[in-house]
Structure 1
Amino acid sequence: MSITLILIIVTIAISWYSWSNPSLLDKLLLNPVRVTRHKEYYRFLTSGFVHADFGHLLFNMLSFWFIGEGVEALFRYLFGAQGGLYFLALYLLGIVVSDVPSFLKNRTNSRYNSLGASGGVAAVIFAAILYAPLMDVYLYFAIKMPGFIFGILFLGYSIWQSKKGGGYVNHDAHMFGALFGMVFMALVYPEAVPNFFKQLAGWRLF
């Protein structure tokens, strides 16, 4: 069984169970004040394994499933026996790192909570985009476009929504998870950076 599928199963199980156990959900989600006051740093990671509702969970896990196994296979090809560990680090650190800006921005707001695997999923997607910017990506699983175009739209929308504020979606986590994914890929496989620009140089709209 792939690491991707194991992570999906674990996330579904914990999220599903937490919906009928509010006290567990409360212990796992990211609340910056509780992290600081009680030193509950584990929340940076556990917040990625709980979700607000079924739609939130479904969208994240479908997105992860569509791209995750491909990136996991790529890492095993690039890094051999260590590939699985690299992939796991990408996903889990993506969750943690993507929560840091939200934590800093809301560190005195006791009413702020954040949850969901979006940061980890975005990290995996954007690691793939750096490696293969011309790969086909489907926006909302329907609109086909090259990966780098999707990346530009995704980051632009996330920045705009973050500045706009309001709503219940943590757009900062999306944005910083995506940026972390590219940085991670560039660090563990530096050749991805020049190859990214070589591929873009050969791209033609028609």
Structure 2
Amino acid sequence: MFTFALIVLTVVVSWQAFERPRLLQRLILWPPAIDRQHQYDRLLTHGFLHADWSHLLFNMITLYFFGRMIEQFMTAVAGPVVFPLFYLSAIVVAILPTYLRHRHDPHYSSLGASGAVSAVLFAFILLEPWSLIFIPVPVPAVLYAIGYVAYSFWKDRQGGGNINHSAHLSGAIYGVLFMLAMDQRIGTHFLNRLMNPSFG
């Protein structure tokens, strides 16, 4: 399954970057390197880096639990290559608003798979809106989504901090739009599930 391959690749790259600062500096999203040196690969490679082991662990656990179901669904609906394309494109799409905002800022950098993981999570919520997410208490996925979007929007407006809330929002939106574009029936499925709560 591509989910496991993505997890292994992310762990290996992040681990190597922990040990090799020069690798980290080459792969991280640093806007001037893209704007001046045309290193566009950084729009993708930053998604395989993490700030520390806890950051990596959180993202990979989330990807493990939700990515497998989304991969199975996308494979059944559109073929086996769709999920990896979805995930990789989500890394790029989620960071674009941030990059455009900071493209001339030499003091800004960003890393992490959070934008793509957010896309996976929200794709899952479309399929199972009443599934319980433990954070650590059980919360229905659709209520978690509302709180997640509201919190990310609020923190992004506040600015500051080390978490890229803009990427979380962009990833969530992309996850929803990708699913709806892939199969229009998903919108009807979501509404039907939403109107008929089931926590089983």
Q: TM-score when scaled to structure 1?
A: 0.93
Structure 1 ranges of 4+ moved more than 3 A: none
CA displacement at 1:130 relative to structure 2: 1.4
| Counterpart-to-counterpart distance in 2, 1:38 and 1:181 | 30
Query: 1:88 corresponds to which residue?
Result: 84
Q: Structure 1 unaligned runs (5+)? A: none
Matched, 1:107 2:103: yes
Query: 2:152 corresponds to which residue?
Result: 158
| Counterpart-to-counterpart distance in 1, 2:92 and 2:166 | 12
SS of 2:81's equivalent in the other structure is helix
Matching residue's letter, 1:23: R
Matched, 1:173 2:167: yes
Q: TM-score when scaled to structure 2?
A: 0.95
Do the aligned partners of 2:28 and 2:49 also contact (CA within 8 Å) in 1? yes
Q: Structure 2 unaligned runs (5+)? A: none
Do the aligned partners of 2:132 and 2:140 also contact (CA within 8 Å) in 1? yes
Q: Deviations over 1:109-144 (max 9, x none)?
A: 1010000000111111111111221222222xx221
Q: Match for 1:145 among 136, 139, 155?
A: 139
Do the aligned partners of 2:75 and 2:81 also contact (CA within 8 Å) in 1? no
Matching residue's letter, 1:33: P
| Counterpart-to-counterpart distance in 2, 1:130 and 1:70 | 12
Matching residue's letter, 1:31: W
Query: 2:123 corresponds to which residue?
Result: 127
Matching residue's letter, 1:203: P
Matching residue's letter, 1:48: G
Do the aligned partners of 1:131 and 1:193 also contact (CA within 8 Å) in 2? no
Matched, 1:54 2:53: yes
Matching residue's letter, 1:124: V
| Counterpart-to-counterpart distance in 2, 1:153 and 1:163 | 15
**Identical counterparts, % of pairs:** 37
Do the aligned partners of 2:129 and 2:190 also contact (CA within 8 Å) in 1? yes
Count of aligned pairs between the two proteins: 199
Query: 1:77 corresponds to which residue?
Result: 76
CA displacement at 1:204 relative to structure 2: 7.8
CA displacement at 1:202 relative to structure 2: 2.0
| Counterpart-to-counterpart distance in 2, 1:162 and 1:66 | 26
CA displacement at 1:28 relative to structure 2: 0.4
Matching residue's letter, 2:185: E
Do the aligned partners of 2:130 and 2:198 also contact (CA within 8 Å) in 1? no
| Counterpart-to-counterpart distance in 1, 2:181 and 2:198 | 28
Query: 1:202 corresponds to which residue?
Result: 196
Do the aligned partners of 1:32 and 1:112 also contact (CA within 8 Å) in 2? yes
Matching residue's letter, 2:50: H
| Counterpart-to-counterpart distance in 1, 2:27 and 2:9 | 14
SS of 1:38's equivalent in the other structure is coil
Matched, 1:186 2:185: no
